[in-house]
Amino acid sequence: MKLAIIFPPLPFGWTPVAPPSLEYIAALTRRVDPDIEIALISAGADPDAVERLECDLAAISILTPTAVGGYKIAEKLRARGIKIVFGNMHASAMPEEAKQHGDAVVIGEAESVWPAVLRDFRAGRLKPFYRGDQISLDDLPTPLYGMLKGKRKHQFRIVNTSRGCPYNCTFCSVKPFYGPRIRFRPIDHVVRDVAAIPEKMYINGDENIWWTGKAERAIDLFTALKGSGKRWMGFGSLGPVLSPVGSRMLNAARESGLLSLWVGWESLTADGLKAYSASGKIGVDRERAVKTLRDHGIDVSLFYMLGSRHDSMEDFKRSVEIADRLGVSMHPSLTVPYPGTKLREQYDAYLYKDLGWEYYNGAYALFEHPEPDMTPEVREERFFETALELLSLGRVLRHMKNVPLRSFPHAHILSLMSQLPVRHGMKIAYEKWKAERKLVAEKRRKI
């Protein structure tokens, strides 16, 4: 039996981050049946790989921005008699839709049902849907790091140490997918996985590398990773930074190799945070928390959304000022009401329903705005003006002076390695947007 595990191309170019689902599902498969031949395809890194592919079953991992691309790949493979199973967040949120393009859909986490999928395929009786349980994370296999090949080399692998999220942010798909309870992996398993990564730098792919009320667990993890000899970046909330054990936690993170933290700033205003129900994870003084991170030698990148129904035109102007004042890099997107989220429920009556999933990539206005001057075209123009200014080559290079000196040179190199691909992708998105303006406007008029 030959199995292909496929991650469709991202909307705006290749990224050096290896899609984590590929090498992890490969490890799950190897555990179930070592005799299965496995091929991994990151379509963004190797665009022609699907055309060359020979397999019996293809597992396609789809997120909302990659769903249309995944469906197109499935159509090509099914025409050649290859069976298709879909999984990941978009397939879990829209299983009936995904089933129209494939033979089976894994809803939720794969561990508890993947053996059944493989067994049923061999027996010629694939079920239309497999619903995974949110199981304990005490026995996850190490991803087969290094197995993913392609014309372009992925430079970063992802390690996950927990699943779940207790926060109630309306825009987020993580809680609907992984549940509200935080499930931690054994720390020695995380250390084992980090040791298996062939590169000297990796990404902690958790929704949050430290949770409010769980700082001691984070400190224990960072202490155990101190001897890995590897450096890393991760995603973290700001609330725990100013907690009583915050300084000890940051020192432990820094000593374990943390160079850069990606922070969900979410909205530029307090009213915006409240509308998103995101105030709980931000903490009481987010600007002081950012300065505290930088004082501990950790570079910071802020991710946030613009153009929501509660945002104003002034929010677009605030972005550059905040970046300059705090000495951080800023990465905006337009607000996306992903399927399965509370935000989509709230915005349902205002959505431009003729805009397909290929437009759910953070570069398009997807819903009506109550303010007459915030037309979708204006929101998109202001977004690209803001993003391209924040990602201008001069700003990217000047940010080197703001990267904490005690992290030199690794954090400085990492800043360039992470920002330049984003800058390149934003330029691709801008050119695509200009070429599609008339088409998108026509689709909006169909509502």
In a domain, 248, yes or no: yes
Residue 343 scores a pLDDT above 80: yes
Of 115, 131, 147, which closes a domain?
Answer: 131
What's the pLDDT score for residue 14? Answer: 84
Mean predicted confidence (pLDDT) in 225-253: 96
Assess whether 250 and 364 both reside in one domain: yes
What's the pLDDT score for residue 155? Answer: 87
- Mean pLDDT (the chain) is 95
Assess whether 47 and 124 both reside in one domain: yes
What residue numbers bound the domain in which 46 lies? 2-131
The per-residue pLDDT for range 43-56, each reduced to its tens digit, is: 999 989 999 999 99
Mean predicted confidence (pLDDT) in 403-408: 90
What's the pLDDT score for residue 373? Answer: 95
Mean predicted confidence (pLDDT) in 412-416: 92
Band of pLDDT at residue 447, cut at 50, 70 and 90: low
What tokens were used for 88? 């990941």
Mean predicted confidence (pLDDT) in 191-203: 97
Assess whether 170 and 100 both reside in one domain: no
Residue 335 scores a pLDDT above 90: yes
Residue 329 scores a pLDDT above 80: yes
More confident residue, 434 or 155: 434
What's the pLDDT score for residue 8? Answer: 97
Backbone angles phi, psi at 151, to 5 degrees: -70, -25
CA distance 101 to 118: 19
Mean predicted confidence (pLDDT) in 92-114: 98
CA distance 14 to 7: 12
What's the pLDDT score for residue 250? Answer: 98
% the chain with pLDDT above 90: 92
The three-point CA angle 206-202-405 to 5° equals 105
Domain count within the chain: 2
Mean predicted confidence (pLDDT) in 127-156: 93
Assess whether 332 and 239 both reside in one domain: yes
Assess whether 125 and 161 both reside in one domain: no
CA distance 206 to 221: 13
CA distance 216 to 235: 17
